[in-house]
Amino acid sequence: MSSLVDTMQKFSSAEEFLDFLEVDYDPPVVHVNRLHILKRFQQYLGRDRVAEGLPEAEERAAYKQRLEMAYADFVKSNAATEKVFKVFQEADGVQTVSISKLKDTLAERHA
C-alpha cells in the first residue's frame, strides 16, 4: 500500500479528501452531498482501480481525477437523481397510497 493511500485512509470527511487531492469545490455543494460524493468516489475507484506502483504524482493525479468526477456528478445533478445509496435506488419502486384509501382503512379499524 502506498503512503498516499495510507494517508487517505485516515480521512473522515469529504473536505479532507478534496483538500488533500487539491480538488476545487464549492462548500455548499459538499455540505449537502458529502456522503454521496465519497460513495461515488468509492464506486469510481471500484470500476477503475488506480494501478499499484505508480509514481506518487501519477497516483495522486489518478485519485484526483476520480474524485473530481464524483464531485462533478453532484454539481450538475442531485442525490435523488444519481441514486448512489440503496434508499434512492429503491425509491422508484415505492407505491403511493391515496388519502381515501387511508381513510377507508382507518374507518374499518374503528368499526
pLDDT tens digits for range 13-48: 999 999 999 999 999 999 988 988 998 899 999 998
Residue 87 has pLDDT above 90, yes or no: no
Lowest mean pLDDT among 15-19, 35-39, 51-55, 94-98: 94-98
Helix 27-47, helix 56-76: angle, nearest 10: 120
Dist. CA 64–CA 25, nearest whole Å: 12
* Side chain identity, residue 16: E
Domain that holds residue 85: 3-110
Single pTM value for the model = 0.71
Q: How many domains does the chain have?
A: 1
Place of cell 495522486: 60
* Side chain identity, residue 20: F
